[in-house]
Amino acid sequence: MTSSNNINHKTIWHLAWPMILANISIPLLGMVDTAVIGHLDSAHYLGGVAVGSLIFSFLFWGFGFLRMATTGLTAQAEGDNNDKLSLKILQHSLLLALLIAIGILLLQSPLSILALSIIDSSELVLAAARTYFDIRIWSTPAILINYVILGWLIGKGASKHALVLVLTVTISNIVLDILFVNTLGMKVDGVALASVIAEYLGLFVAIKLLLTHGVAQSLFVSDPDTYLHKQNWLTLHGNIFIRTLCLIFSIAFFTAQGAKQGELILAANAILVNFIVLMAFVLDGFANAIEVISGKAIGSKNKHQLVQGLRLSAIWTFGLACFFSMSYLLFGSQLILLLTSISAVNALANEYLIWLIIMPLIAVWSFLFDGLFIGATRSVEMRNSMLFATFICYLPAWYFLQDYGNHGLWVAFLIFFAARGLGQAFYLPKILSLK
């Protein structure tokens, strides 16, 4: 970010473009997973990957606070020119990530039993999901540590290094997907194994990147003169954790309700959700930019930078949302065909395509405001707006729309995203006034 008070379009793009490329690679990986499985001879493989991925959304997305909190705190430390505090944030976050990873590995058996018992689907789908879980679980330490290092790099404004880390994981995962499934004839097990190997390759690169930032032996040395308020630090993580659990629950609920309507509905929804995730990760590039801008602006108490950064990020984010809606309108059927050759799944996905077309224009504001709230470390407001959207809006909407089947489920999902944006907008004046 420039040292002057002025934030311009160049500033936004300098921060955003590496993260857009990095973020695009993540849903593209999901699409490759879907495509290599979706062209096998049965829909239950696709359902198994959808269910398995859903379970790891709870396990891994749920701990996304390790990335988000680290980004916000690090950006504010950078704005205050406090390198020692930045290092201490990295130390504490890495330790927390390691402790969580050990706990998950120790509890993997009961976690597997609990997760699969909640999903209401066929035995073939559950068997495939069980295979996926038993392999993918071993990527946990690498994933959580990578979360922290990625968050630290973004907070430092090192978006190009963050891009290198994400692309390492994604490209190696895609290559291994194709090798294991298409060449070696593996199925769900191949997709899961590819993810595990790729995450540890990413961890190796992440450690090398820390070395380029001068983090070596100093990572293991505690500086008693550098103060990090541990209660506030833990509260920040806890509130973002609750917020993220609500988000994952909402997506999981959507997937589970689709599964109850049959394997074909489950598979069709999984296809469309891939495109929602693609859109979300691209828009998150600008959210990542406002994370850094808002964090540094608050760290240096610069209200002008904060307001200007949000305004310019909003222009670009909404423009991209319109682009996605138009793309899905014009090319949605062709995009669906890329991910599955199963005619029944293809037909159902096209039936519900209208909701995918509308989604970017509704969801865009929640993605943008997430970036602002993370950079400002306003975790209480993030938590409250998500609780409102999930329990006051989404679930009641689903309840009253059940008679409309999968169309009703999609409308409730749209209401959830709309409520998120409105709930966050309520807190904007207070945040932008730096109070």
For the chain, how big is the Rg over CA atoms in Å? 21
Closest CA to 304 of 16, 2, 70: 2
Cα distances (angstroms) measured from residue 162 to each of 72, 87, 158, 200, 292: 15, 17, 6, 16, 13
pLDDT of 364: 95
| Cα dihedral 300, 306, 307, 308 in deg (nearest 10) | 100
Please, how many CA atoms are within 13 Å of residue 425, restricted to the half-sphere of its CB? 11
d(CA 53, CA 61): 11
Closest CA to 29 of 143, 172, 131: 172
Quick check: helix, strand or coil at residue 185? Answer: coil
Q: Write the DSSP string, 289-351.
A: HHHHHHHHHHHTT-HHHHHHHHHHHHHHHHHHHHHHHHHHHHHHHHHHHHH---HHHHHHHHH
Quick check: helix, strand or coil at residue 69? Answer: helix
d(CA 191, CA 29): 10
d(CA 169, CA 327): 27
> 199-215 burial string, b = 16+ CB within 10 Å, else e?
bbbbbebbeebbeebeb
pLDDT of 127: 82
Amino acid at residue number 63: F
d(CA 378, CA 306): 14
pLDDT of 3: 45
pLDDT of 2: 45
Residue entry with tokens 């950064």 = 309
Q: pTM of whole model > 0.75? A: yes
Quick check: helix, strand or coil at residue 88? Answer: helix
pLDDT of 69: 87
- Which residues of the chain, if any, have pLDDT below 50? 1-4
